């Protein structure tokens, strides 16, 4: 595949853009692959990419029931940070964040990574203590964060109201190298690189059954026919429980809709990401000028991909409190995605009771930021059959052993 470059843009401009190749191929499915990956979201595609790049495994199909990146990967609010409390979380989220730094170069695809800085506001005494503790933990983990004063918050984000009607801003946990990236581009960049390695991305192809013999996975039934495989990796976010059911095991997960909304575009007014966890909302400004806004997940399990009105109302109310300047803005559109949440709010990257079948899920409301780190760790698990250092703490056995990785604070409203 031809590299994208300034020279290529100039060349194509001269010939009226007639020479661009398709970014990825649309092949017919083969009858068998070494590895079948279910789900062409960021996690599935990143797993495929690192299987090829780090382990030379390229006889891979990535099977997607809709269009690639059309799940949560294309529906999230694109926040990237690694300021988690527990060591295993900091390790995998920081690995991911550092891979984002060079992703555009690695993939030869501009994912618009923007390390503009992320702040999580402390608006109660408890939050001050909690975030100070996280800042200390992050210092030990080698993750660069600091607890900053309200004055510094105001300097970094002048449109913020420090003396909010209910909760004044008392400080913030600040990660200067956190930020955002273009979510679709992350999926497209990985897809292009995977296709270039000869992998098959099969869109509009739904997995409807998983087959096994003697306790080992043997293949899948899809809407495009039977496909055999030596190894199967399931990375389907909100549908994890459905796929696990097909494979004959259960997961400690709940699925619910999480929603986001954007305002009409306005002139640049904030160049950091702000999360206000106590009042329950967060906001950043996209390159188009829209304010990108998110809040909480539905309080009941569902697969609706819609979200509910009361969350829109609560989230907007919370953000008007934090940023009174936005009170007269019009909201442009709203959407939802189905997220899968574990009890300890940490992901699952694991072998399963079915031999050679692996699962990666439970990223809940915050798995966009982890895509490259998760793909890296999952590729190692699939290639070697055993988890490496990054994935090992996130095995399913932790739920049996009561060895939880509690991130309920870091994963609250914050994404
Ligand atoms: C509104 C919202 C805001 C969010 N904000 C953030 C944020 O700011 N920062 C952050 O880090 N995270 C955020 N997240 C979470 C993040 O989007 C997800 O954790 C992440 O995208 C999950 O990626 P994935 O590849 O696992 O899943 P997905 O992108 O959902 O991909 C899974 C794919 O599997 C496919 N699939 C399912 N079943 C089948 C089947 N039977 N056969 C074939 N294919 C199948 C689906 O169609 C889907 O495309 C947000 C999520 C939402 C919904």
DSSP string, 55-76: H----EEEE-SS-TT-SGGGTS
Alpha helices per DSSP H over 148-235: 150-156, 183-196
Pairing of strands 331-342, 253-263: antiparallel
CA distance 103 to 119: 23
Is 237 near ligand 1, meaning CB less than 6 Å away?
Answer: yes
210 C-alpha vs ligand 1 centroid, how far in Å?
21
Q: What is the pLDDT of residue 200?
A: 98
Q: What is the pLDDT of residue 80?
A: 97
71 C-alpha vs ligand 1 centroid, how far in Å?
5
Q: Look at ligand 1, atom 2, and give the residue with the nearest C-alpha.
A: 76
What is the 3-state composition of the chain as percent helix, strand, coil, each rounded to the nearest 5?
35, 25, 40
Alpha helices per DSSP H over 122-207: 125-141, 150-156, 183-196
Q: Which atom belonging to ligand 1 lies closest to the Cα atom of 368?
A: 11
CA distance 292 to 257: 17
**Residue showing tokens 């690694």:** 82
360 C-alpha vs ligand 1 centroid, how far in Å?
12
Is 100 near ligand 1, meaning CB less than 6 Å away?
Answer: no
- Among 111, 181, 185, 237, name the best residue to mutate to test ligand 1's pocket (greatest count of ligand atoms within 8 A of Cβ): 237
Contacting residues for 222 by C-beta, under 8 A, at least 6 apart: 29, 63, 202, 205, 206, 207, 208
How is residue 200 written in tokens?
């098959």
**Burial 243-281, CB ≥16 within 10 A → b, else e:** bbebbeeebebbbbbbbbbbbeeeeeebebbbbbbbbbb
Q: What is the pLDDT of residue 413?
A: 56
CA distance 168 to 391: 39
> In terms of C-beta distances under 8 Å and separation of at least 24 residues, what long-range contacts does 98-102 make, across chains too?
99/372, 99/373, 99/376, 100/181, 100/369, 100/372, 101/177
Rg (CA), the chain: 21
Q: How far is CA 396 from CA 65, 251, 358, 404, 405, in A?
A: 26, 8, 11, 10, 12
CA distance 183 to 111: 8
Q: What is the pLDDT of residue 349?
A: 98
Is 42 near ligand 1, meaning CB less than 6 Å away?
Answer: yes
- Among 29, 37, 39, 312, name the best residue to mutate to test ligand 1's pocket (greatest count of ligand atoms within 8 A of Cβ): 39
Q: Which atom belonging to ligand 1 lies closest to the Cα atom of 68?
A: 49
281 C-alpha vs ligand 1 centroid, how far in Å?
20
415 C-alpha vs ligand 1 centroid, how far in Å?
13
Residues of the chain with pLDDT under 50: none
CA distance 145 to 135: 6
Is 176 near ligand 1, meaning CB less than 6 Å away?
Answer: no
Q: What is the pLDDT of residue 151?
A: 98
How is residue 364 written in tokens?
């809940």
CA distance 29 to 17: 30
Q: What is the pLDDT of residue 408?
A: 80
CA distance 205 to 215: 25
Q: What is the pLDDT of residue 299?
A: 85
Q: Tens digits of per-residue pLDDT, 97-143?
A: 999 999 999 999 999 999 999 999 999 999 999 999 999 999 999 99
CA distance 76 to 68: 14
Q: What is the pLDDT of residue 311?
A: 87
CA angle 176, 178, 182 (to 5 degrees): 140
CA distance 236 to 386: 21
* DSSP per-residue codes, 37-55: EE--SHHHHHHHHHHHHHH
Q: Which atom belonging to ligand 1 lies closest to the Cα atom of 43?
A: 25
CA distance 357 to 366: 24
Nearest in space to 404 (alpha carbons), one of 347, 331, 333 = 347
CA distance 183 to 181: 6
73 C-alpha vs ligand 1 centroid, how far in Å?
5
Is 235 near ligand 1, meaning CB less than 6 Å away?
Answer: yes
């Amino acid at each position: 595949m031809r590299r994208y470059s300034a020279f290529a843009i100039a060349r194509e401009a001269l010939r009226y853009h007639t020479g661009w190749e398709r970014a990825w191929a649309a092949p017919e499915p083969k009858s068998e692959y070494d590895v079948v990956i279910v789900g062409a979201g960021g996690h599935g595609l990143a797993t495929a990419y690192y299987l090829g790049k780090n382990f030379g495994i390229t006889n891979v199909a990535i099977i997607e029931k809709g269009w690639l990146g059309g799940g949560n990967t294309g529906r999230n609010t694109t926040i990237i940070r690694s300021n988690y409390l527990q060591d295993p979380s900091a390790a995998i989220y920081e690995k991911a964040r550092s891979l984002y730094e060079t992703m555009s170069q690695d993939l030869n695809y501009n994912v618009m990574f923007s390390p503009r800085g992320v702040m999580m506001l402390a608006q109660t005494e408890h939050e001050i203590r909690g975030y100070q503790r996280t800042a200390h933990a992050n210092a030990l983990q080698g993750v660069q964060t600091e607890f900053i004063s309200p004055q510094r918050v105001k300097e970094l984000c002048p449109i913020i109201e420090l003396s909010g009607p209910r909760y004044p801003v008392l400080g913030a946990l600040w990660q200067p190298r956190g930020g955002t990236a273009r979510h679709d581009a992350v999926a497209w960049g990985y897809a292009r690189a995977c296709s270039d390695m000869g992998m098959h991305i099969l869109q509009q192809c739904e997995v409807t059954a998983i087959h096994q013999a003697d306790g080992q996975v043997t293949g899948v039934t899809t809407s495009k026919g039977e496909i055999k495989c030596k190894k199967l990796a399931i990375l389907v976010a909100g549908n994890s429980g459905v796929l696990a059911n097909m494979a004959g095991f259960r997961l400690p997960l709940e699925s619910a809709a999480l929603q986001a909304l954007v305002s009409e575009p306005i002139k640049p007014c904030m160049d950091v990401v702000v999360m206000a966890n106590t009042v329950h909302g967060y906001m950043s400004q996209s390159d188009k000028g829209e304010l990108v806004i998110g809040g909480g997940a539905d309080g009941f399990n569902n697969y609706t991909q819609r979200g509910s009105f009361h969350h829109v109302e609560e989230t907007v109310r919370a953000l008007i409190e934090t940023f009174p300047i936005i009170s007269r803005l019009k909201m442009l559109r709203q959407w939802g995605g189905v997220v899968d949440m574990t009890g300890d709010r940490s992901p699952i990257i694991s072998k399963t009771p079915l031999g050679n079948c692996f699962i990666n899920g439970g990223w809940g409301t915050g798995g966009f930021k982890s895509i490259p780190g998760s793909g890296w760790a999952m590729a190692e698990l699939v290639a070697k059959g055993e988890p490496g250092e990054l994935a090992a703490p996130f095995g399913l056995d932790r739920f049996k052993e009561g060895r939880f990785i509690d991130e309920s604070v870091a994963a609250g409203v914050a994404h």
